[in-house]
Amino acid sequence: MTKNSNNVSIPAKILEPVRKFLEEELKKLNQTKKSIDNADPFKDEERDNENSLEDDVDEQIGHLDTEVKSKFLQKQIIQFRKALTRLKVGKYGVCEECGKMIDTDRLAVRPETTLCIDCAKDKE
Ligand SMILES: [Zn+2]
């Protein structure tokens, strides 16, 4: 085992734009989530409780829809935060499950990933 075996081989000049990308995307995700959460009809305090059955159904559907989108975005946000944290501690590009380097092609497509393709398959 060499002294440098645990060092991430991704150079800083490549990591810097990745960090910027992740931060930008995270900002966008947070904004999108906020606007989706605000669109939830259940959040509407002026909501008429005497409305018709059709309106109630519409609201239920609207609520479920926003809930699904919001949950999906929340997962994305966590994933991006995780990738950023790993970047900051110098573990970016290293699989959090097995510790192997993540394929750079995979990172190019999904820069927020923290799992190598094999470990991601096991989880899906
Ligand atoms: Zn792995």
Structure tokens at 98: 């097995």
Q: Whole-angstrom Cα distance, residue 22 to residue 19?
A: 5
Q: What is the pTM of this model?
A: 0.80
Chain-centre distance of CA 21, in angstroms?
13
Residue 3 Cα to ligand 1 midpoint, Å, equals 22
Residue 2 has pLDDT above 50, yes or no: no
Tallying the residues shown for the chain, one arrives at 124
Which comes out higher in pLDDT, residue 68 or 47?
68
Residue 103 Cα to ligand 1 midpoint, Å, equals 10
pLDDT at 39: 86
Q: Whole-angstrom Cα distance, residue 114 to residue 96?
A: 6
On average, the pLDDT of the chain sits at: 88
Residue with token string 């509407």: 44
Residue 29 has pLDDT above 90, yes or no: yes
Residue 42 has pLDDT above 60, yes or no: yes
For residues 76 and 29, is the Cβ–Cβ distance under 8 A?
Answer: yes
CB half-sphere exposure, 36, CA atoms < 13 A: 18
Residue with token string 């239920």: 60
Residue 122 Cα to ligand 1 midpoint, Å, equals 9
Residue 107 Cα to ligand 1 midpoint, Å, equals 13
- pLDDT tens for each residue of 65-107: 999 999 999 999 999 999 999 999 999 999 999 999 999 999 9
Give the alpha-carbon dihedral of 100, 106, 108, 110, to 10 degrees: -100
Percent above pLDDT 70 for the chain: 89
